[in-house]
Amino acid sequence: MSMPNLSAIAVKQRSVTLFFLLLLLVGGLYSFLSMGRAEDPSFTVRVMMVSAQWPGAEPEVIERQLVDKLEKEIQEVPDLKAIETTIRPGAAFLQVEFEDFVSSAELPDRFYQVRRRMQDIQASLPDGVIGPQVNEDFSDVYFSMMSLTAEDQNQRDLIPVAEALRDRLQQVDGVNKALIFGERQQQVYIRFNEDKVQRLGLTTQQLADYVQQFNQLIPAGSIEAAGPVLRLRVDNNLAELERLRQLPVVIGQQNFKLQDIAQVERGFRDPPEQMIRAFGENALIVGVVMQQGENGQEFGGRLTDFVKAEQDRLPAGTQLRVLTNQANAIDDAVNLFQVKFLVALLVVMGASILAIGFRAGLVVGIAIPVTLAATFMVMLAMGMNLDRVTLGALILALGLLVDDAIIAIEMMLVKMEQGVDRVQAATFAWTVTAAPMLFGTLVTVSGFVPIGFAKSAVGEYAGNIFWVLAISLILSWIVAVVFTPYLGVKMLPDVSADKHIDHEQRYPRLRRWISQCVNYKKTVIAITAGLLVLSIVGMAGPVQKQFFPASDRTEIIVSVYMPEGTAFHRTNDVMKRLEAIAQQAEQVDSISAYIGAGPPRFFISANPEQPNTGFAKLLVVT
């Protein structure tokens, strides 16, 4: 190559080369420990939810007078891919999806346009419509979900405990947000005594209007003092149950208290919109979203410490248990990479030792950790995490990282056996094979260019396959032409003069095979073409094709779809029977049931189901 001979510089400036070698190893170890860890790469889900309620309206009326208007407004937003609308009696849910080429920087603007249009159209919607509500956090992935249960305790008493737990959880380092799920809507029930009401000559609706008027916040006037104006407000807040019971009711010339003609009590909405059970008990779920770029392993450790500390602070009979935890999947992935790394290192070193000797094989084996160390440093500088994609790319690259090192050390051995000085032999690889090795590396990298530059969801999710392979393979070439010659000078044994051989005498059997292939070139070409055709037939036929392998997650998900319009309690009864079956299974870590709607997005490809009284989902973590 026309560049300065890097191999010659490395073997002549050995102290400098050794310094950079040690610096790479230390820096790589620091980078590996400092890099963020996550189950999946950072990925933008280009979906948002728009929902609206119209109590009492039939689906046909909702579609004609509500949904059509909402969809027409949303369709004016650019880069819209699809609108998936679900209409049920009294409610409509619109899942708005944008094109894959919309970048993560452009997506907030598209969300804003949808939200603004929904606000603008709200005034023109029919009376009685609630909303539309816009959910831009539909893509949040909950790193962990914890259940809060209490034996023989009303959920009303459990809610303050859950809220205090959520507030403390927000203070844990790395928490982006913490939310509570499964909270049933509380209501105040006023049950009038019909006999007393009829004797007074009133109707229930008249009394309800009377209570509503008393609860309105209206101006009560003001007093102009010498200084500021004193504004008056009537204390008519009926949030406290006892004040509502003591509400005066004036009927003609008679005065009553509300409790004299009605029973006032607090309760829950029945049927509920959603119910969650954990381990067979009614539960509240606290979901945690991790900050982007956080180290998932360390964050999972902090959450574990938090759960242990909180269990001692909870009231008697209250339990806090972890249902799902991405830290387990991250630990498994990182541990699998470490095992595969050690196995690959041993296999490469073993094969190299058998082929070119112990010391030469050791030099080739050292090239792997040096290359990976440099790769980790570059990944940390680029803000990459260790996740499903980057770890997969590193495992894929392990078998390719030693190719250039093997070529360099083999060339050095050949020249030494020909009687060339070891320093000169170490520099010979640069002049002969450095350029072919570099171009071969770039050709290998170019095969992954479509993934790295794809403007699509696949490109965003799996694009780091290209970048990690490109970084590691190019660095493996640098290691092969800089550090491998240095290590060869240091570690390879001397070749005595009586063992010098001519390169024409090496590998006689291999040379005979190559000569036969050249002599019978037509036969070789025909066999090669036949194998190519056979491979094409196999790819087009029986070989299964999928971008990612089957999921290795430990969750078992059972979705229950009852006939549309099924009552909530009927769906709940079916789910209780399924829970009873699941609780009899062995090696189960957690069981949680979600009735009326799906669980939050606990991993990236799990789409939360919208409210539906005929739907339930059972989540079993084994």
DSSP string, 160-206: HHHHHHHHHHTTSTTEEEEEEE-PPPEEEEEEE-HHHHHHTT--HHH
More confident residue, 456 or 176: 176
Q: What's the rounded mean pLDDT across residues 516-545? A: 88
Give the number of other CB atoms < 10 A from CB of residue 266.
12
3-class secondary structure for 348-380?
HHHHHHHHHCHHHHHHHHHHHHHHHHHHHHHHH
For every residue of 53-66, DSSP letters joined together read E-TT--HHHHIIII
Residue 393's pLDDT is what? Answer: 86
- Token pair in block for residue 236: 């008519």
Q: What's the rounded mean pLDDT across residues 521-533? A: 93
- Listed range (123-132, 296-305, 381-390, 415-424) with the worst mean pLDDT: 415-424
Judge whether residue 497 has pLDDT over 80: no
**pLDDT confidence of 219, banded at 50, 70, 90?**
low
Residue 513's pLDDT is what? Answer: 86
- Listed range (278-292, 359-373, 406-420, 572-586) with the worst mean pLDDT: 406-420
Q: What's the rounded mean pLDDT across residues 254-269? A: 71
> What is the pLDDT of the chain when averaged over all its residues?
81
CB-count exposure of residue 552 (10 Å: 0-12, 13-18, 19+): exposed
Q: What's the rounded mean pLDDT across residues 64-70? A: 88
**145-194 pLDDT tens trace:** 888 888 766 777 788 888 888 888 888 888 888 888 887 777 777 777 77
Q: Which segment, 77-86, 406-415, 420-429, is predicted with the most confidence on average?
A: 77-86
Residue 36's pLDDT is what? Answer: 78
**30-66 pLDDT tens trace:** 998 888 777 777 777 888 888 888 888 888 888 888 8
Residue 30's pLDDT is what? Answer: 92
- Token pair in block for residue 262: 């009605």
Q: How far is CA 227 from CA 224, 233, 470, in A?
A: 8, 19, 75
Residue 227's pLDDT is what? Answer: 66
Q: What's the rounded mean pLDDT across residues 417-435? A: 80
**1-15 pLDDT tens trace:** 567 788 888 888 888
**pLDDT confidence of 27, banded at 50, 70, 90?**
very high
**pLDDT confidence of 214, banded at 50, 70, 90?**
low
Residue 123's pLDDT is what? Answer: 84
Judge whether residue 337 has pLDDT over 90: no
Amino acid at 226: A
Amino acid at 232: L
- Listed range (188-202, 266-280, 317-331, 586-600) with the worst mean pLDDT: 188-202
- The Cα 21–Cα 287 span in angstroms is 45
**pLDDT confidence of 237, banded at 50, 70, 90?**
low
**561-607 pLDDT tens trace:** 988 888 888 998 998 999 889 888 888 888 888 988 888 888 777 77
The percentage of the chain sitting over the pLDDT mark of 70, rounded to a whole number, equals: 87
